[in-house]
Structure 1
Amino acid sequence: MTAKAMGTAAMLDAAAINLLGGADEFDGEAKAVTLAPVGPVAQRFLSDRRFVTAIMGPYGSGKTTTCFQKILNATLWQRPGRDGVRRSRGMVVRSTYGQLETNVMADWFGWFPKTQDNWNGKEHKHSLSIDLLIAGKPIPLEIEVLFRAVDQEDKPEKLFKGVNLTWGWLNEVDTLHPNIRGFLMPRLGRYPGTREGGCQWSGLWADMNAPDIDNYTYGWLVDGEMGVSEELLEKLRAIYGAQFGIGFHPQPGGLTPEAENLANLQPGYYDRMAATMTANDKLRFVDNEFGAVRSGQPVYPEWNDKFHCAAEPLRALDRPAMLAIDGGNTPAAVLLQEDDDGQIRVLDEIVIVTPDDETVLEKLGATAFAKAVRRHIDQKWPKLRLQREVIADPAIFYGEAEDKLSWAQEFVGEFKGKLRAAPVAGNRINPRLKAVRTCLTENVGSKPGILVSPVCRQLRRGFNNGYVFTRQKTTSGVATLKDKPDKGPCSHVHDALQYGVLWIRKSGIASEESEQEKRRAQRETRVAHSGFAAGAATGGGWR
């Protein structure tokens, strides 16, 4: 079955299921046209009509085949023109033409062979005319596919200028520059024209293997940040309405029973691959999980994003919530509640990032942060009741010099309430990590011991391998892990969570030697005399 030049359509039967031709061709992608989805996740991606959709999967999971199928879907979703033909024009984008030819075009031409009539090598344009047979009825389609390479930051504006498209496909999107989205999105929805039925649906889709957690695609696809200007966002919302949004579809890991596209892979494909990979590469390319930053080791390997992260933003229970904070130059806070079963529910986080980069935290003093926290709670949680005690980083209770107020005093002066130091002697990291780890591993009945709202973006990013132990070399040249997690952008909100969980659980705290206890008691006495940490501070703003 072939697709010919415009005007001489080939007949393709949508009911036909074509797999691979032989064992020597097992590379995970179909060599001929098939509309059979490679698995349930791929099917949901195919049928998702939101403006932005993406599929992330391990090696060999059939992502390229699935994106070919989406090209056909995107054309079927158009209105027929006066001649009864449904049309679409799209662009496939990759970093280099060599990558396009090897990883996309070779398989595409296996589906729809290029001829002198349908291929324009100068423009890298493939023009197809197809009669797609669905339920015995031929559906005439015309598809134009433009293949484009963008390997420099300044090229997208010139490359996309003046191009009218229906759809765009960002192949291996994690390897592309983020600014491509902003230049490509305005070109979508401009074809076909009114005389040819108008553009009924338009959108952008992407595919990738799981990248490292600090790749821009995490913020875009997992956190739902479009990555374009507010002006463009408003225009897109006005055009697409309810369709405007992001659909992210991660496939199951290759070693799980739910793995997709196994019928098109040799037996033992993923086992052999896993045996030759580093732990981080296996995590990304076999297990289909975001990799750890800077080749670090995740602090919480017990985290299961599908289990510990709520599908929808959490609503507050009818009881007071706890505010837990981490102080310093880049402070952060979390709002927690414990339900009747003992599950800790993380309602929200307060993390102030720079306007240009959400991976860079804004430096704030205690007073400015207190105002930001109060503003956030008043705007996002106007009916929320807070408990009087704010649980805090023990280190914030001491000023740098005798004549300086401590961070805690400055915070309380603005926020009011009672600040309590988290119950961890010496602010040691191990009891703090243990408290959170216990919640991750010990369920409450059928529920996770801790449930995090998806609005907690930095917290979730940290759990998903952004909060790591980094490596260091000893004097003998041996690489070892550091004793404490890396102080990256996710660490501060995780510190706040640890303090809050410790207060709720009051567990995992080892006893200290008597001299340490004595010094701690002396410090707490001095703090109590200041009138804020021991509970003497009062004030408004508490519900």
Structure 2
Amino acid sequence: MKTWQEIFPENVWGTMRWSPPITHHIKLPQRGDTPGVDCEVIFLALDQPRDVRKLLSLELTGGFVDEARELPKAVVDGLTSRVGRFPTKQHGGCPWRGVWMSTNPMDSDHWWHGLAEKTPIHGRYPWKFYKQPGGVLDATKEHEGSIFAANAFWRMNPDAENVNNLPVGYYEQQLAGKTTDWINCYAGAKYVYVQDGKPVWHEFSDSLMSTDVEIEKDRPVHIGLDFGLTPAAVFGQRMANGRWHIVHELVAFDMGLERFALNLKADIETKFVDQVNRNDIFIWGDPAGGKRDEIFEVTAFDHLRTHGFNARPTQSNDFMVRREAGAMPMNRLIDGRPGLLVSKDCQRTRKSLSGGYHFKRVAMGGGQERFREVPNKNEHSHVGDAYGYLMLGGGEHRLLTRNHNGKQMFKQMRATLDFDVFT
């Protein structure tokens, strides 16, 4: 509202109506050949899918959406169906109708990214996207005279827009204390996932650990599997030097175990032919999958075996054991590179490890941040759990589960462990 009033002050454009919904009826008379203005602006909060009902009775000429990445697609769909209705044909009709939207970048599975980059809307009424140049560029390869932040070098983008309206040193100041993903999003104008809350695996760095990873035909394949109606499978290979390569993923939504098992079997037989021929594929899952189904009286592991899978439960389903097992390869440095490398094609795994799987922030006073002790269950948690089971089954559990209940002094272990412990 402050921004709006700065552009359209009430002493010039007329007073605003402050009782909900807030409106500003702008009226300016015609002056000579210059036409007048008669425009009513309605301000609405539309950040939940249920807010679509706020639009149902509106008759609009057009709409403007700020920070569109925060809106569900259902709200945008509802808004596009209400524009072009004022003025009516009886009063001359609309010479123009449409919706403007602006936003900071979002991650690659957002509806905006899909329409802008993957499946654009063509035809008589296309959606047009305009990408503003970022304020900074990655200068790691030519870092002389650049700014060092978030373990990378950055320089000002000579094509950046609106610089004349910004204070001196605006972007340089923004870089201080930020992560690489934050800088790429808010200062570099790149599609990127910016985490919310405390990541389950804060050790993971997407910029360092995501790369082009090839499937090694002569190495076994381990698969971490999370059950439920949002099943997920993460495929990994452990190299001779102890480094883990995450080479493939399979994630489904609203799908039972039977259909997912068929998809999993098709993926394995297509992508891992050599391992199938050598019987060199190992599947690890939640020990809770050993519970018998109340209707069919079989376990999830029994069901997988009917499809020919060598599926076994991990040693533990304790969350902290699973988390620490997943963190161990991230903390290792092997031949100058991280002990975990994730294929760039495994986008859901990368997003989960980058903070999609996280502990929710709890509001606290006194400027202190507090987080829930149990991670947030969302669309990213299932693939994150599958990654944890992969690491447990693949051998990272051996010291973590040395005693009967699987609980150790995790901080002390991370400070002393090296690869030799597992060989």
Shift of 1:453: 2.6
Matched residue type, 1:334:
V
Which among 385, 394, 417 is matched to residue 504 of structure 1? Answer: 394
| TM-score, length-scaled by structure 1 | 0.46
Match of residue 154 from structure 2: 258
Match of residue 311 from structure 2: 419
Match of residue 232 from structure 2: 332
Secondary structure in structure 1 of the residue aligned to 2:266: helix
Shift of 1:396: 0.9
Aligned equivalents of 1:501, 1:340: Cα separation in 2: 16
1:226 aligns with 2:115: yes
1:373 aligns with 2:264: yes
Secondary structure in structure 1 of the residue aligned to 2:154: coil
Secondary structure in structure 1 of the residue aligned to 2:115: coil
Match of residue 174 from structure 1: 69
Equivalent residues of 1:255, 1:287 under 8 A apart:
no
Match of residue 244 from structure 2: 344
User: What do the CA deviations read for 1:449-498 (whole angstroms, capped 9, x no partner)?
Assistant: 22223333332222232111125699xxx985333322222111111111
Secondary structure in structure 1 of the residue aligned to 2:333: coil
Match of residue 282 from structure 2: 389
Aligned equivalents of 1:151, 1:351: Cα separation in 2: 33
Return closer, same or farther for 1:512/1:308 CA change in 2, 3 Å cut-off: closer
User: What do the CA deviations read for 1:205-226 (whole angstroms, capped 9, x no partner)?
Assistant: 9864467x7xxx75246xx533
Secondary structure in structure 1 of the residue aligned to 2:334: coil
Matched residue type, 1:409:
D
Match of residue 206 from structure 2: 305
Aligned equivalents of 1:341, 1:121: Cα separation in 2: 75
Equivalent residues of 2:301, 2:312 under 8 A apart:
no
Equivalent residues of 2:114, 2:120 under 8 A apart:
no
1:408 aligns with 2:301: yes
Return closer, same or farther for 1:265/1:183 CA change in 2, 3 Å cut-off: same
Match of residue 453 from structure 1: 343
User: What do the CA deviations read for 1:269-308 (whole angstroms, capped 9, x no partner)?
Assistant: 7769979x9xx99998689974444xx3112223222222
Shift of 1:258: 0.8
Matched residue type, 1:309:
S
Which among 488, 491, 494 is matched to residue 378 of structure 2? Answer: 488
Return closer, same or farther for 1:207/1:301 CA change in 2, 3 Å cut-off: farther
Equivalent residues of 1:336, 1:345 under 8 A apart:
yes
Aligned equivalents of 1:341, 1:160: Cα separation in 2: 64
Aligned equivalents of 2:174, 2:281: Cα separation in 1: 56
Equivalent residues of 1:396, 1:408 under 8 A apart:
yes
Aligned equivalents of 2:343, 2:294: Cα separation in 1: 39
Secondary structure in structure 2 of the residue aligned to 1:349: strand
Secondary structure in structure 2 of the residue aligned to 1:440: helix
Matched residue type, 1:226:
L
Equivalent residues of 1:255, 1:271 under 8 A apart:
no
Return closer, same or farther for 1:182/1:374 CA change in 2, 3 Å cut-off: farther
Shift of 1:333: 0.7
Match of residue 444 from structure 1: 334
Return closer, same or farther for 1:437/1:99 CA change in 2, 3 Å cut-off: farther
Q: How does 1:79-478 map to 2 (within 5 A)?
A: 98=4, 101=7, 122=37, 172-175=67-70, 178=73, 180=76, 208-209=103-104, 219-220=110-111, 224-226=113-115, 233=119, 236=122, 256=149, 257-258=153-154, 260=156, 265-267=167-169, 290-293=193-196, 296-310=197-211, 314-319=213-218, 320-353=220-253, 362-364=254-256, 366-378=257-269, 381=271, 383=273, 385-386=275-276, 387-399=280-292, 404-413=297-306, 415-422=307-314, 424=315, 426-471=316-361
User: What do the CA deviations read for 1:295-327 (whole angstroms, capped 9, x no partner)?
Assistant: x311222322222223x6x44222343222112
Shift of 1:383: 4.5
Matched residue type, 1:504:
G
Length, aligned pairs only: 328
Return closer, same or farther for 1:420/1:151 CA change in 2, 3 Å cut-off: closer
Return closer, same or farther for 1:255/1:467 CA change in 2, 3 Å cut-off: farther
Shift of 1:334: 1.2
Secondary structure in structure 2 of the residue aligned to 1:434: helix
Equivalent residues of 1:335, 1:349 under 8 A apart:
yes
Unaligned runs of 5+ in 1: 1-94, 103-115, 125-146, 162-168, 185-203, 354-361, 518-543
**RMSD, aligned α-carbons:** 5.5
Secondary structure in structure 1 of the residue aligned to 2:394: helix
User: What do the CA deviations read for 1:338-359 (whole angstroms, capped 9, x no partner)?
Assistant: 3454432222221112xxxxxx
Secondary structure in structure 2 of the residue aligned to 1:334: strand
Matched residue type, 1:434:
E
| TM-score, length-scaled by structure 2 | 0.57
Aligned equivalents of 2:130, 2:297: Cα separation in 1: 48
How many percent identity over aligned positions?
18
Aligned equivalents of 2:344, 2:222: Cα separation in 1: 18
Return closer, same or farther for 1:318/1:400 CA change in 2, 3 Å cut-off: closer
Secondary structure in structure 2 of the residue aligned to 1:226: helix
Equivalent residues of 2:136, 2:171 under 8 A apart:
no
Secondary structure in structure 2 of the residue aligned to 1:258: strand
Aligned equivalents of 2:363, 2:295: Cα separation in 1: 38
Equivalent residues of 2:289, 2:300 under 8 A apart:
yes
Shift of 1:399: 1.9
